[in-house]
A and B are shown apart, each in its own frame.
Chain A
Amino acid sequence: MSSFWRQALQVAKRDLLVEGRAGEGVGIVLPFGALAVFVVPLATSGSASLLADLAAPVYWLVTLLFGMQLALRQTATETVPQRRLLVLLGLDPVARFVGRTLSAWVLLIGLQLVLIPLVVLFYEPEPVPTPALMLPALALYALGLAMLGTLAGDLTVGLRTRTALAPMLAAPLAVPLVMGASQSLISISRGEGILTWTLLLVATDLALSVAGVVTARPLEETAT
């Protein structure tokens, strides 16, 4: 394995280890997201057809907002001395971006998988004919969110308003991802093809990865 990928995997492994110890994502963000899924029906008339219609929008909204919280979790934020140490150790900034994205991606996939049964239980949406077809869309959606979260997190590192600012920067740019994933689900439900929406997701992920690679070095200077 090349030095680049070894570095990226080390960063991802470190992030997941820290998450395993601190439990910020699994212990706080995830239950909070589940609570949001639970609270929405309480704010409606409780009509079964309304809840069934709301199932997918609530799912995408919660995965977007709480996914951002996961990607920007405090325990994954490196302090300035830690960043300086990584620079002195010769860590490739692009490998750092890839590693951070990978760890956030794993956590986002986890969030998505936990929320699916909750939404199905509480909202009882129309069954999707071939749910397995949604897996690539979900994976690409989570990957895009992970990259956006990593980029927004690096842009706002060290700022007092980071908690509100980073999701504000990321959310409008995440719209093509939400569109791609949500329209894939609609198309599958109607028995139509999802090639166009998959291509939108792939194109957005590619654009974000280019942005991540190109800005990795200037962003490294920002944080040090």
Chain B
Amino acid sequence: MTKRILPVLAGLALVAALAVALSSPPDVLQGDFVRILYIHVANAWLAFLAFGVTAAASIGWLVRKKPGYDRVAASSAEIGVLFTAVTLFTGMIWGKPIWGTFWDWGDARMASTALMFFVYLGYLALRRATPDRQARARRSAILGVIAVVQVPLVYFSVTLWRTLHQGLTIRPDSVQMEPAMLVALLVNVGAFSLLYLALLTARVRLARLEEAAEAHERAPAGRAVTAPRLETGQ
């Protein structure tokens, strides 16, 4: 049931989010470029969530050793990498007209986000490089727990280092944003959260099928003792 409902819901929510983002007022300084930020910020938050889920599932695997945790950890990391890539890309296309540059090497948030991206690319590379399922789960679970340190570093980089990137706009005690813009941002965050859930459930299901296919391919005997197929037509 969720197999069909979640993607449909996510699709509808994304359409609604796009409509809200396009109909929200332009920013006094940034003009229409502010609309890029609704996608940029939503993707960044979802990337944090995805890597947090990877870490939690990794701890779950290390404690319980159940394959389901490994599937969730790996699937969430893949989606997190995708969201981080979108975050970096949208940040760059927003940065050119607003800051005058695609990339600023002195900016702590940009540099730390790129590093987080590479750390999780390494996580995925480690998984691909480890053929044994048990070893793959253990190694990636350890890295998944270590790598999550990047998330708070990226999040707080704007307060730890005062560089080009703006500080935290939404804090527990105050929100420095126009209500209409805040609504557009929250609708986008909600829509992308649904997209994350839809992608996660689909990827976990795919991982389960991949494992079943892998187990089938490795099944001993049976097919190995079938009669030889003789070439015909020669």
Contacts and interface: CB of A to CB of B under 8 A. Distances in A.
Interface of A: 151, 155-156, 159-162, 165, 168-169, 171-173, 175, 207, 211, 215, 218-219, 221-222
A169 B129 contact: no
Contact of B142 (A159, A168, A172, A219): A219
Interface string B116-155: 1011011001100110000100110111011001000000
A159 B119 CA distance: 18
Given A159-B129, A159-B130, A168 B139 contact: no
A172 B138 contact: no
Contacts of B115: 172, 175
Given A172-B119, A173-B119, A175-B115, A222 B138 contact: yes
A148 to B, nearest CB: 10
Q: Is the interface of A mostly helix, strand, loop or mixed?
A: helix
Contacts, number: 52
Q: Is the interface of B mostly helix, strand, loop or mixed?
A: helix
The size class of the interface chain B forms with chain A is 20 to 34
Interface of B: 62, 111, 115-116, 118-119, 121-122, 125-126, 129-130, 135, 138-139, 141-143, 145-146, 149
B104 to A, nearest CB: 16
B194 to A, nearest CB: 30
A155 B126 contact: yes
| Shortest beta-carbon contacts, A-B, top 3 | A172-B118, A169-B122, A161-B129
Contacts of A219: 142
